Structure 1
Amino acid sequence: MAFKERYGASPLHLLLVLGSFALTGYAGIRLLSGQEPWMVVLWFAGAALLHDLVLLPLYTFTDRAAQIVLGGLHRPPGPPAGASSAPGRSWVNHVRVPVFLSGLLFLTYFPLILQRGNRFTAYTTLPDDVFLGRWLLITAVLFALSALTLLIRLFRSRTTSSRRTPEDDSRSGAAAEA
């Protein structure tokens, strides 16, 4: 009990943190032990700058623009105005998640998707012209599942709000005033 009070978490947490530091250190040593370690450092610095100075403003602007343009869509029932959560923005995550996953897949496999992986067929003897179609299919499935999830949430919120009686509303209003 004294360890948890002093450290703030269980000993297992400390063990996992130390293990992750050890694994990160090992990976860093292996990565930097190549012939030109300064290239790895330059690549990481360039990636950080590219993300912070170009990509972050770009996807923040895109997200805000989508919220403004699509903000007039149906707003699911939720807490009254002025409450802590924004009910009209609950649909946004149903767009963000498939876009993020699709973008991550594209970022990982873009040489194959754009057929720039010249050595892929030579190394694997597999065709390299199927990745664009598969990525588009995965993206469509991600958006379809997200839309289905949103429709289920909207249906459940409507059935829940239609079951409420005026007495429920007066009780919740009295509880909020107290």
Structure 2
Amino acid sequence: MAALRRRYGASPLHLLLVLASFALAAYAGVRLLEGDTLGVALWFVGAALLHDLVLLPLYAVTDRAVQHLFPEIPGQDLPRPGVNHVRVPLFVSGLLLLVWWPLILGRVDHYTAYTGLPADGFLERWLLITAALFVASAAILVVRRWRESALRGRAAPRE
């Protein structure tokens, strides 16, 4: 057991879970490719190209621009602390858009027929959720900065 851990670098349970996830992914891939193999393959290639050639450079440029909005802490090599207060709500909002984009953009005509629910209002709700995420993140940032300044004020020697 110790030899396996030393050679593999993790516990046997980790290896078992990795192999099980590969088996599940292979099963899902086989089931997915049963129907429209060419369409699925084109979708994967298109998604990879879109991500690598368009979205990844957009992430990088946006992240650099956001980093310039927050002051650098001298002697610290880590990212600027305030950057994550933009990254997290942007990520959650983007993930919601990725999952719900047909409804948010009104691209699903049969939604009401299948569910009996109206398909309108998703854009407004997504925008409200996005705004709430950014407001909550900004409030957390303000509270953190206020607490840091209060702690620095107490730690400073009085003359």
Q: What TM-score bracket applies, with the shorter chain setting the length?
A: 0.7 to 0.9
TM score, norm. by length of structure 2: 0.87
Aligned to 1:6: 7
Partner of 1:45: 45
Mark the runs of 5 or more structure 1 residues left unpaired by the alignment. Answer: 167-178
- Matching of residues 9-48 of structure 1 within 5 Å: 9-34=10-35, 36-48=36-48
Q: Which residue of 2 aligns with 1:107?
A: 98
Residue deviations 1:98-145 (CA, integer Å, cap 9, x gap)? 111111211221221122210000111101112112111211221122
Question: Where in structure 1 do 4 or more consecutive aligned residues deviate above 6 Å?
Answer: none
Instruction: For 2:29 and 2:124, locate their aligned partners in 1 and report how far apart those are by CA, in whole Å.
Output: 36
TM-score if structure 1 supplies the norm length?
0.79
Q: CA deviation at 1:38?
A: 1.9
> What aligned pairs does 1:108-123 form with structure 2 within 5 A after superposition?
108-123=99-114
Residue 150 of structure 1: CA displacement? 1.0
What CA RMSD, in Å, does the superposition of the two structures yield over aligned residues?
1.9
Other-structure match for 1:143: 134
The residue aligned with 2:76 is 83
| Separation (CA, whole Å) in 1 of partners of 2:45 and 2:140 | 39
Larger Rg: 1
In structure 2, C-alpha distance between the alignment counterparts of 1:83 and 1:107, rounded to whole Å: 34
What amino acid does structure 1 have at the position aligned with 2:49? Answer: L
Number of matched pairs? 156
Q: Distance in 1 between matches of 2:65 and 2:6?
A: 46
User: Alpha-carbon deviation of 1:165?
Assistant: 4.2
Q: Tell me, yes or no, if the aligned pair for 2:66 and 2:86 is still in contact at 8 Å.
A: no
- Tell me the SS of whatever aligns to 2:120: coil
Unaligned stretches of 5+ residues in structure 2: none
Measure the CA separation in 2 of the matches of 1:108 and 1:83.
Answer: 36
- 1:134 matched to 2:135? The reply is no
